[in-house]
Copies of this chain bind each other. A is one copy, B any other.
Amino acid sequence: MKESMINVIVTAGGTSEPIDNVRRIANTGTGRLGSLIAEELAADAMVGHIFYVCAKDSFRPVSEKAVCVEIESVSDLQAAVTELMEKNEIHGIIHSMAVSDYTVRSVTTVESLVDFLANDTTNDMKEKILKGMDQTDIRSGGGKLSSQMKSPLLLLEPTPKIISMFRKMAPQAVIVGFKLLSNVSKENLFDTAYRLLIKNDCDYVLANDAKEIDADHHHAYLLDREKNSQTFDTKTEIAKGIADIVLREVKRK
């Protein structure tokens, strides 16, 4: 690979967070769009490597320029992108992966929580419930939870926002974020997507609504920092649109 070659990270598919060693909370991204974007990028002669960070069951690009890095959880994702950016000069980051917003903080049962509440003297109810959830956590190191519980209760907590880390890791990179909402107005979708762009210092954000995605169509808007937008109707159009704009920006820099 020549020094002047363009390297891009594409994240694709969905992450998942463990409940125990056989159950996970999974985001249902398939990686289809991400793999198409990777193929479009690979078609450009100036592109050296595409580091394709994806889940085990994700669609993958077939191009030989694609280097697949398999991950499961958000912390795996963080470790993978950190290492990639330490070891390689990265010119573009296309973050299409559906990243878990929540990980599992504790697992208990309503019955155990009620027992705890009856015997604990904490006054603040929120604090008391959180304490009870943590102290009655029934996960043991790496085991499998019983299948005989009546009322299992899972307490979740937010995961770190990986997208917020990219700009610091790769100040010069062209960064594309993704925002998927479900059944909202176009105005709401644009506002939410644009806030994500600004907050995380992205160059572009792909805004889409689950209600406008089916087997044959995928309606989406690519917004830039000036809130200009391009509209696409299929995954192939989206993939071409994103690859073109990212490569044009990278070459211009």
Interface residues of A (CB under 8 A from B): 16, 19, 21-29, 57, 98, 100-102, 110-111, 113-114, 117-118, 125-126, 129-130, 133, 142-144, 147, 149-158, 180-183, 210
Contact = CB atoms under 8 A, between A and B. Distances in A.
Interface of A is mostly: mixed
Given A16-B26, A24-B28, A114 B125 contact: yes
A181 to B, nearest CB: 7
A133 B133 CA distance: 15
B143 A114 contact: no
A24 B26 contact: yes
Contacts of A111: 126
29 contacts: A16-B26, A19-B25, A22-B29, A22-B182, A22-B210, A23-B26, A25-B25, A25-B26, A101-B147, A102-B149, A102-B152, A110-B126, A110-B130, A110-B155, A114-B125, A114-B129, A117-B125, A130-B151, A143-B182, A143-B183, A149-B158, A150-B157, A151-B156, A151-B157, A152-B155, A153-B154, A153-B155, A154-B154, A154-B156
Nearest to A130: B110
A244 B21 CA distance: 31
Nearest to A57: B57
A21 B181 CA distance: 10
Given A113-B129, A152-B102, A181 B28 contact: no
A173 to B, nearest CB: 24
A147 B126 CA distance: 20
Nearest to A145: B101
A157 to B, nearest CB: 7
Contacts of A129: 110, 113-114
A112 to B, nearest CB: 10
B114 A126 contact: yes
A180 to B, nearest CB: 7
